[in-house]
Structure 1
Amino acid sequence: MNLDLYKKQALQKQKEHKKFLDGLKKKPPKNLDYIVQETHDEVFNEVDCLQCANCCKTTGPLYTEKDIERISKHLRMKQADFEAKFLRVDEDNDKVLQNLPCFFLNSDNTCSIYEVRPKACREYPHTDRKKIYQINHLMLKNTVICPAAFEFVEKMMKNISK
Structure 2
Amino acid sequence: MDIEHYKQLALQKQKVHKQFLASLKKKPPKNLDKLTKQIHEEVFMEIDCTKCANCCKSLGPLFTEADITRISKSMRMKLATFEDTYLQVDEDGDKIFKCMPCPFLGGDNLCNIYDVRPKACREFPHTDRNKIYQINQLTIKNTIICPATYLFVEKLRERLA
Aligned to 1:79: 79
Unaligned runs of 5+ in 2: none
What is the correspondence of 1:33-52 to structure 2 with a 5 Å cutoff? 33-52=33-52
Cα drift, residue 109 of structure 1: 0.4
Q: Deviations over 1:101-123 (max 9, x none)?
A: 00000000000000000000000
SS in 1 for 2:96: strand
Following the alignment from structure 1 to structure 2, what is the Cα–Cα distance between the partners of residues 7 and 92?
A: 27
Cα drift, residue 93 of structure 1: 1.1
What is the correspondence of 1:1-162 to structure 2 with a 5 Å cutoff? 1-161=1-161
Following the alignment from structure 2 to structure 1, what is the Cα–Cα distance between the partners of residues 49 and 92?
A: 28
- Count of paired positions: 161
Following the alignment from structure 2 to structure 1, what is the Cα–Cα distance between the partners of residues 13 and 92?
A: 28
SS in 2 for 1:88: strand
Give 2:127's aligned amino acid: T
State the TM-score, normalizing by the size of structure 2: 0.99
State the TM-score, normalizing by the size of structure 1: 0.98
Following the alignment from structure 1 to structure 2, what is the Cα–Cα distance between the partners of residues 149 and 92?
A: 26
Unaligned runs of 5+ in 1: none
CA RMSD of aligned residues (A): 0.5
SS in 1 for 2:88: strand
Q: Deviations over 1:37-79 (max 9, x none)?
A: 0100110000000000000000100000000000000000111
Following the alignment from structure 1 to structure 2, what is the Cα–Cα distance between the partners of residues 154 and 25?
A: 17
The sequence identity of aligned pairs, in percent, is 62
Following the alignment from structure 1 to structure 2, what is the Cα–Cα distance between the partners of residues 57 and 22?
A: 29
Q: Where do 4+ consecutive residues of structure 1 move more than 4 Å? A: none
Structure 1 stretch 90-99 or stretch 143-152: which is displaced more? 90-99
SS in 1 for 2:40: helix
SS in 2 for 1:39: helix
